[in-house]
Amino acid sequence: MGHLDTNSIFLLIAILGPLATGLVLLFGARFNRITLRAIAAFGFSCPLIIGLLLYSLFEPSLVGEYNFELRLPTGLESIGIYLHLGLNGISMPLFLLAATVGFAAGLYAMYSNAERLHLYLALLLCMLGGLMGTFASVDVFFFYFFHEFALIPTFLMIGIWGGAGRRGAAIEMTIYLTLGALLSLLGLIALYVQSGADSFSLLELRTYLTAQPLSETVQNNIFALLLFGFGILVSLFPFHSWAPKGYAVAPTGAAMLHAGVLKKFGLYGLLQIAAPLLPAGADHWFPWIVWLALGNILIIGLVTMAQKDLKMMLGYSSVMHMGYAFLGLACFSVIGAGGALLMMVAHGLSVALLFMLSTCIYHRSQTFELSAMGGLAAKAPVLAGFFVAATMASIGLPGFGNFWGEFTIFAALAETDLTRWIVAPAAIGIVISAIYGLRAVAHVFFGQPKEAFVARLEGGKITDMQAFEKLPACILIAGLMLTGIFPRIFSDDANRELAELYPQEQSNLPMIQSAALPADLEAPKEIKH
């Protein structure tokens, strides 16, 4: 049992705090808006404050183990299920990502004009609590349980507060995500059964499978279940169609949390569980991962270019950028996995910011149609500045975390002859993202406004961003710049942990901790797939 100390209790509070606050707000129909905001503020800020505290206390020397470990009985001990919590170098960045995006989404939601605000905030808090639990879980069962728990509010929020076409989008989302969840569950159960372990603890699974690896055939089959199960949840091509439609109709808070954080569940599962425990399976499915990832980048990239609706464009863009993370995973190396991890964090921050800003644009223009807008920068220069910065981050401009994620993934691809050819088509994706990103900026803020929009611009109704919009935007931009300037805040600890999970010859290569100094990159060594 993990040692029960103050820090491990804090970790538990980071999960239970939002859930308890959400439960209070469920019965808050009679609360006035000030009371609602005060209660909600506690729930949304609790994970972030605790997350920053735990990050400051994180002990990097515990490689192969977990910081702040806590193991509580659940009544299901006979089948090896405990509430086993902890953080390592891989889960810590995503834990902080969830806390940061959750806080930003909560701040924006508290001042929204949503009907039944108490219910809206309650569901958002339950979603946040589930996310915190997902990345803090050492027990594979609870890792899955918390993810499913976080999904439920997503469906409810789309059904109640979603935009036009929400019924069809919700049905498609339900079908795809249910299928993905079922496949990943079957894969996790098969992994547990075949390992011979006595519990669902990831540490125990590693111990058993290190001592006695599964046969190649079994690894191939289980990895396939996890790849396609998790892949559907991450919107891996061609199982992606649910994501753009779902995000387009989802209320802003749900879109920020799902696209920014919840979608990283599948990538995290592949990074932390599937690839390290099933190396032969990863090797077998390597070509599939590469080709499907390139489908995300190139095919979905071209589809993104064709979009005329701002929110649909952002939805497809989110799907497209997941391809780079899959390419990082496909390298099955420390440097590749590290790049994927940093990409996950940076993409989560940038896509959450873009979805929030798109709603800010809609409130001023009353449309998402790109061709119907123009010249908005004259009336809302701060909004224009934030959107340009978020777009540049998404494209991968140096100075933002996205750059180092993509840079490291490209460095990993260039390591061997087996993957070097992928660099060129993957680089085309960056050009594509620059085209549609800059086109959106031009259409919305600097283009010649249409005649109908001129009247709105001159009507005096359009104002710049308000304080409740600026604050979450500043938080997310600050996170992007911090990871862009100091990638080592996450990469040092992640590198140590990944070197333990991916014991390849190249594990001594500099990962993103030396990304700020590209000249430090050493001569690559060959890896085998």
Q: Is residue 507 part of a domain?
A: yes
Closest-CA residue to 386 (of 321, 289, 287, 477): 477
Q: Which domain holds residue 313?
A: 287-518
Q: Is residue 70 part of a domain?
A: no
Closest-CA residue to 265 (of 238, 222, 291, 232): 232
Structural domains counted in the chain: 1
Q: Is residue 383 part of a domain?
A: yes
Q: Is residue 496 part of a domain?
A: yes
Q: Is residue 372 part of a domain?
A: yes
Q: Is residue 454 part of a domain?
A: yes
Which residues sit opposite 139 in a β-bridge? Answer: 201
Tokens (6 digits) for 148: 């499913």
| pLDDT (tens place) for every residue of the chain, 529 residues total | 445 688 889 999 999 999 999 999 988 778 888 888 899 999 999 999 999 999 999 888 888 888 888 888 877 777 778 888 999 889 999 999 999 999 999 999 988 887 888 899 999 999 999 999 999 999 888 999 998 898 888 888 888 887 777 787 778 888 888 888 899 999 999 988 888 778 888 888 888 888 888 888 888 899 999 999 999 988 888 888 888 888 888 888 888 988 889 888 889 999 988 888 888 888 888 888 889 999 999 999 999 998 888 888 999 998 999 999 999 988 888 888 889 999 999 999 999 999 999 999 888 888 888 888 878 888 888 999 999 999 999 998 888 988 998 999 998 888 888 888 888 999 999 999 999 989 999 888 887 777 767 777 776 678 888 888 899 999 999 999 999 999 888 888 888 888 888 865 443 333 333 333 333 434 333 334 4
Q: Tokens 């603890």 correspond to what residue?
A: 201
Closest-CA residue to 386 (of 264, 526, 455, 480): 480
- Tell me the pTM: 0.87
Say how far apart CA 105 and CA 124 lie, in whole Å: 8
Amino acid 93 reads: P
Contacts of 442 (CB under 8 A, 6+ apart): none
Q: Which long-range contacts (CB under 8 A, 24 or more apart) does 69-78 make?
A: 69/2, 69/3, 69/8, 69/138, 70/2, 70/4, 70/8, 70/9, 70/11, 70/12, 71/1, 71/2
Contacts of 413 (CB under 8 A, 6+ apart): 327, 331, 336, 419, 420, 422, 423, 426
Say how far apart CA 56 and CA 411 lie, in whole Å: 30
Which residues sit opposite 137 in a β-bridge? Answer: 85
Q: Is residue 512 part of a domain?
A: yes
Residue-wise pLDDT tens digits, 202-233: 888 888 888 888 888 888 899 999 999 999 98
Q: Is residue 42 part of a domain?
A: no
Residue-wise pLDDT tens digits, 406-455: 999 998 888 888 888 888 999 999 999 999 989 999 888 887 777 767 77
